[in-house]
Chain A
Amino acid sequence: GQQVMQIPQYQHVQEGEDFTTYCNSSTTLSNIQWYKQRPGGHPVFLIQLVKSGEVKKQKRLTFQFGEAKKNSSLHITATQTTDVGTYFCAAQTGANNLFFGTGTRLTVIP
Protein backbone atom coordinates (compact mmCIF):
# COMPACT_ATOMS: atom_id res chain seq x y z
CA GLY A 1 0.00 0.00 0.00
CA GLN A 2 0.89 3.62 -0.24
CA GLN A 3 3.29 4.90 2.36
CA VAL A 4 4.02 8.43 3.38
CA MET A 5 7.24 9.02 5.27
CA GLN A 6 7.36 11.99 7.58
CA ILE A 7 10.46 13.31 9.35
CA PRO A 8 11.54 14.08 11.94
CA GLN A 9 9.44 12.12 14.43
CA TYR A 10 10.21 14.59 17.22
CA GLN A 11 11.56 18.13 17.30
CA HIS A 12 12.41 20.28 20.28
CA VAL A 13 13.02 23.95 19.57
CA GLN A 14 13.64 27.04 21.65
CA GLU A 15 10.85 29.56 21.37
CA GLY A 16 11.63 31.88 18.49
CA GLU A 17 13.51 29.27 16.46
CA ASP A 18 12.20 27.94 13.17
CA PHE A 19 10.77 24.46 12.60
CA THR A 20 10.30 22.31 9.51
CA THR A 21 8.68 18.94 8.97
CA TYR A 22 8.95 16.97 5.74
CA CYS A 23 6.72 14.46 4.00
CA ASN A 24 7.87 12.12 1.23
CA SER A 25 6.03 9.65 -0.97
CA SER A 26 7.32 7.16 -3.53
CA THR A 27 4.28 7.81 -5.72
CA THR A 28 2.93 10.95 -7.34
CA LEU A 29 0.22 12.52 -5.24
CA SER A 30 -2.96 14.23 -6.37
CA ASN A 31 -2.96 16.42 -3.30
CA ILE A 32 -1.59 16.66 0.19
CA GLN A 33 -3.24 17.95 3.33
CA TRP A 34 -1.71 19.09 6.60
CA TYR A 35 -3.27 18.66 10.02
CA LYS A 36 -2.32 19.77 13.53
CA GLN A 37 -3.15 17.84 16.67
CA ARG A 38 -2.72 19.63 19.98
CA PRO A 39 -1.79 17.48 23.00
CA GLY A 40 -4.92 15.63 24.12
CA GLY A 41 -6.86 16.91 21.11
CA HIS A 42 -7.94 15.73 17.71
CA PRO A 43 -6.40 16.44 14.29
CA VAL A 44 -7.50 19.73 12.83
CA PHE A 45 -7.23 20.52 9.13
CA LEU A 46 -4.76 23.27 8.27
CA ILE A 47 -4.43 23.39 4.50
CA GLN A 48 -4.52 21.47 1.22
CA LEU A 49 -2.00 21.69 -1.61
CA VAL A 50 -2.94 20.54 -5.08
CA LYS A 51 -0.67 22.10 -7.70
CA SER A 52 2.92 21.19 -8.51
CA GLY A 53 5.31 23.60 -6.79
CA GLU A 54 2.50 25.24 -4.86
CA VAL A 55 3.38 27.43 -1.87
CA LYS A 56 0.80 28.64 0.62
CA LYS A 57 1.20 30.74 3.74
CA GLN A 58 -0.82 31.07 6.90
CA LYS A 59 0.77 33.75 9.09
CA ARG A 60 4.02 32.14 10.29
CA LEU A 61 3.33 28.80 8.58
CA THR A 62 4.56 28.10 5.03
CA PHE A 63 3.45 25.00 3.16
CA GLN A 64 5.13 23.72 0.00
CA PHE A 65 4.28 21.00 -2.50
CA GLY A 66 7.19 19.64 -4.52
CA GLU A 67 7.50 20.07 -8.26
CA ALA A 68 7.13 16.31 -8.78
CA LYS A 69 4.19 16.19 -6.34
CA LYS A 70 5.96 13.55 -4.27
CA ASN A 71 7.00 15.61 -1.29
CA SER A 72 5.81 18.45 0.88
CA SER A 73 7.02 20.53 3.78
CA LEU A 74 5.62 22.67 6.56
CA HIS A 75 7.83 25.44 7.91
CA ILE A 76 7.05 27.51 10.98
CA THR A 77 8.95 30.76 11.43
CA ALA A 78 9.76 31.97 14.94
CA THR A 79 7.90 29.29 16.86
CA GLN A 80 5.65 30.16 19.76
CA THR A 81 4.40 28.00 22.60
CA THR A 82 1.01 27.88 20.89
CA ASP A 83 2.62 25.92 18.04
CA VAL A 84 3.11 22.88 20.30
CA GLY A 85 1.50 19.73 18.95
CA THR A 86 1.86 17.00 16.37
CA TYR A 87 1.80 17.93 12.71
CA PHE A 88 0.59 15.35 10.20
CA CYS A 89 0.70 15.32 6.46
CA ALA A 90 -1.98 13.30 4.70
CA ALA A 91 -1.50 12.30 1.10
CA GLN A 92 -3.94 11.25 -1.54
CA THR A 93 -3.50 9.61 -4.93
CA GLY A 94 -6.42 9.92 -7.32
CA ALA A 95 -9.70 9.01 -5.69
CA ASN A 96 -8.04 6.97 -2.96
CA ASN A 97 -8.37 7.78 0.69
CA LEU A 98 -5.95 9.84 2.69
CA PHE A 99 -2.79 8.18 3.97
CA PHE A 100 -1.47 9.92 7.03
CA GLY A 101 2.20 10.33 7.79
CA THR A 102 3.46 9.27 11.20
CA GLY A 103 3.55 12.87 12.38
CA THR A 104 6.15 15.21 13.83
CA ARG A 105 5.72 16.10 17.47
CA LEU A 106 6.86 19.66 18.12
CA THR A 107 7.89 20.82 21.56
CA VAL A 108 8.61 24.51 22.07
CA ILE A 109 10.78 25.43 25.03
CA PRO A 110 9.91 28.86 26.46
Chain B
Amino acid sequence: DADVTQTPRNRITKTGKRIMLECSQTKGHDRMYWYRQDPGLGLRLIYYSFDVKDINKGEISDGYSVSRQAQAKFSLSLESAIPNQTALYFCAVGQGENQPQHFGDGTRLSIL
Protein backbone atom coordinates (compact mmCIF):
# COMPACT_ATOMS: atom_id res chain seq x y z
CA ASP B 1 0.00 0.00 0.00
CA ALA B 2 1.13 3.52 -0.87
CA ASP B 3 4.53 2.02 -1.69
CA VAL B 4 5.62 1.68 1.91
CA THR B 5 8.77 -0.37 2.27
CA GLN B 6 10.10 -1.75 5.52
CA THR B 7 13.53 -3.24 6.07
CA PRO B 8 14.49 -5.73 7.26
CA ARG B 9 11.48 -8.06 6.96
CA ASN B 10 12.80 -10.35 9.65
CA ARG B 11 15.44 -9.93 12.32
CA ILE B 12 16.70 -12.11 15.13
CA THR B 13 19.06 -10.53 17.61
CA LYS B 14 20.28 -10.75 21.17
CA THR B 15 19.35 -8.83 24.28
CA GLY B 16 21.27 -5.58 24.63
CA LYS B 17 21.92 -5.06 20.94
CA ARG B 18 21.05 -1.85 19.13
CA ILE B 19 18.59 -2.34 16.27
CA MET B 20 17.30 -0.01 13.61
CA LEU B 21 14.19 -0.63 11.53
CA GLU B 22 13.77 1.41 8.38
CA CYS B 23 10.67 2.64 6.64
CA SER B 24 10.50 4.49 3.34
CA GLN B 25 7.63 5.63 1.16
CA THR B 26 7.32 6.88 -2.39
CA LYS B 27 3.95 8.61 -2.20
CA GLY B 28 5.03 11.84 -0.52
CA HIS B 29 2.60 11.43 2.39
CA ASP B 30 3.31 13.82 5.24
CA ARG B 31 2.46 11.60 8.20
CA MET B 32 4.39 8.50 9.21
CA TYR B 33 3.78 6.10 12.09
CA TRP B 34 5.40 3.16 13.86
CA TYR B 35 3.21 0.50 15.47
CA ARG B 36 3.90 -2.78 17.16
CA GLN B 37 1.53 -5.72 16.98
CA ASP B 38 1.33 -8.40 19.63
CA PRO B 39 -1.14 -11.30 19.68
CA GLY B 40 -4.40 -10.24 21.33
CA LEU B 41 -3.31 -6.61 21.73
CA GLY B 42 -3.97 -5.20 18.31
CA LEU B 43 -1.79 -2.38 17.01
CA ARG B 44 -0.21 0.03 19.45
CA LEU B 45 1.34 3.31 18.41
CA ILE B 46 4.99 3.81 19.30
CA TYR B 47 5.91 7.12 17.65
CA TYR B 48 4.56 9.31 14.88
CA SER B 49 5.71 12.22 12.77
CA PHE B 50 3.73 14.82 10.84
CA ASP B 51 6.71 16.33 9.01
CA VAL B 52 10.48 16.23 8.74
CA LYS B 53 12.08 16.46 12.19
CA ASP B 54 8.67 16.43 13.85
CA ILE B 55 8.59 13.64 16.46
CA ASN B 56 5.74 12.69 18.77
CA LYS B 57 5.42 9.96 21.36
CA GLY B 58 2.69 7.42 21.01
CA GLU B 59 1.11 5.05 23.47
CA ILE B 60 4.22 2.91 24.13
CA SER B 61 7.36 4.94 23.33
CA ASP B 62 9.57 3.79 26.24
CA GLY B 63 12.61 1.87 25.00
CA TYR B 64 12.29 3.22 21.45
CA SER B 65 13.47 6.25 19.53
CA VAL B 66 12.79 7.48 16.00
CA SER B 67 14.28 9.75 13.39
CA ARG B 68 12.62 11.60 10.51
CA GLN B 69 15.44 13.29 8.56
CA ALA B 70 13.59 13.22 5.25
CA GLN B 71 9.92 13.20 4.30
CA ALA B 72 10.16 9.77 2.77
CA LYS B 73 12.01 8.04 5.61
CA PHE B 74 11.13 7.25 9.21
CA SER B 75 13.40 4.95 11.20
CA LEU B 76 12.75 3.23 14.51
CA SER B 77 15.58 2.34 16.89
CA LEU B 78 15.81 0.06 19.86
CA GLU B 79 18.88 1.31 21.72
CA SER B 80 19.24 -1.79 23.90
CA ALA B 81 16.84 -4.50 22.86
CA ILE B 82 15.05 -6.64 25.44
CA PRO B 83 13.02 -9.83 24.91
CA ASN B 84 9.63 -8.21 25.55
CA GLN B 85 10.23 -6.06 22.48
CA THR B 86 9.80 -9.19 20.39
CA ALA B 87 6.87 -8.33 18.13
CA LEU B 88 5.71 -7.53 14.63
CA TYR B 89 6.45 -3.90 13.77
CA PHE B 90 4.53 -1.94 11.17
CA CYS B 91 5.23 1.39 9.58
CA ALA B 92 2.25 3.31 8.23
CA VAL B 93 1.83 6.52 6.25
CA GLY B 94 -1.06 8.91 5.81
CA GLN B 95 -1.86 12.19 4.14
CA GLY B 96 -3.48 14.75 6.40
CA GLU B 97 -5.86 14.50 9.30
CA ASN B 98 -8.61 11.87 9.52
CA GLN B 99 -7.29 10.02 6.50
CA PRO B 100 -6.67 6.30 5.98
CA GLN B 101 -3.29 4.89 6.87
CA HIS B 102 -1.33 2.69 4.51
CA PHE B 103 0.86 0.04 6.02
CA GLY B 104 4.13 -1.59 5.05
CA ASP B 105 4.57 -5.34 5.07
CA GLY B 106 5.98 -5.37 8.60
CA THR B 107 9.22 -6.37 10.31
CA ARG B 108 9.16 -9.48 12.47
CA LEU B 109 11.65 -8.88 15.28
CA SER B 110 12.78 -11.57 17.71
CA ILE B 111 15.03 -10.74 20.64
CA LEU B 112 16.66 -13.65 22.39
Contact = CB atoms under 8 A, between A and B. Distances in A.
Given A9-B40, A97-B48, A102-B42, A1 B59 contact: yes
A97 B45 contact: yes
Contacts of A25: none
Contacts, number: 51
Interface residues of A, number: 24
B98 A31 contact: yes
A42 B100 contact: no
Interface string B19-34: 0000000000000010
B104 A42 contact: yes
Contact of B100 (A48, A97, A99, A103): A48
Contact of B43 (A30, A50, A95, A100): A100
A88 B105 CA distance: 16
Given A9-B40, A42-B1, A103-B42, A30 B102 contact: no
A42 B58 contact: no
A106 B2 CA distance: 26
A98 interface: yes
A21 to B, nearest CB: 12
A17 B104 CA distance: 32
